[in-house]
Amino acid sequence: MRIAINGMGRIGRLLFRRLVNHPEIELVAVNDIMEPANLAYLLRYDSVYGTFPSSTVLEDNHLQVDGKSIAVFRQPDPSKLPWKELKVDVVLECTGMFSNKAGASIHLESGAGKVLLSTTGSADIPLMIYGFNQHALSADTRIISPGGCMTNCSTHILYILNAIGIESVQLNILHSYTSRQALVDAPHSQFRRGRAAAESIIPVEIDLQTSLEKLFPMMGGKIAAVSTRVPVANGALADFTLQLSNKVSKEQINQLFRTAAKNEYKGILEYTEDPLVSLDIKGNTHSVIVDGTLTTVVGNHLKLITWFDNEYGYTSRMIDWLSYMKQLG
């Protein structure tokens, strides 16, 4: 499978690191408007995941990594990218700028076989969460949205608990700061997002409710969500407060997720009773890690705490999607 990455931000660069030596994937090209020398530097040195062990050298507009040569483009217009000439099977669209059907289709018009977004796409693109509804993917589907890191965390939790019955759910995602926040106070349409990210706990608006109601139509009007950005560079804690239809015990809830982690959700969901902090989940490949030590139940009210690495866990699912698409043909 021949892959190209469009957009070399946090997700694009982490995908590069993880795919460049993948045995089933050939990474043939990347595209970003930054200076190629700067790109090579940021691929080599990362403040969250450390120094990349492989040598990354820029030569003649190609990145040389472990004997592999990856073409580097600086083209803001995807219609001018040579995906047809490079025989690109899948473009990983990681800019966040081409997340509707019309925008993502430009890659197809340039010769790519398929497009996998790195975000929740617009309503006209299928929202497919790996481990939940990937089986609905048909071979002729050419643009896929795998959701976002928060959707990938939440979907599996809600699906499992819906077997008990959910009357309502409130989600607060305590999330590391992101590039869409400011380092120092600055103007922003969402005033709080413009405040210095490393200095405050900052509530921000998110569209998680919309995504979850799309995946669970029967839960329309039963979901509310907010993200609280905290001054760390990586990691997230998802705080679920649910009113259930039936009374359950803490032990029953924990056993439910312990069993799921060992069976049908193995590799997607993890269960732990270790006393974790956010740093401990850096580099964790699961979409969600249920912390059984923090489960509490009062009557029909459940408080469930989960962790996830918002970058590494998410890129793990994107790589799962590539393997699944390869098998599907």
Catalytic residues: 149
Type of residue found at 275:
P
For residue 71, give both structure tokens.
Answer: 């073409």
Bridge partners (DSSP) listed for residue 117: 93
The rounded distance, in Å, linking the Cα atoms of 237 and 241 is 13
Q: Would you mind telling me the total number of residues written for the chain in this entry?
A: 329
Q: Which of 62, 83, 70 is nearest to 22 (CA)?
A: 70
Residue 109's CB is within 10 A of a number of other CB atoms, namely 11
Residue pair 287/156 in contact by the 8 Å Cβ criterion: yes
Q: H-helix or E-strand containing 176?
A: strand 166-176
For residue 40, give both structure tokens.
Answer: 């090579």
For residue 269, give both structure tokens.
Answer: 């969901």
For residue 325, give both structure tokens.
Answer: 């698409």
- Residue 99 phi, psi dihedral angles, 5° rounding: -100, 5
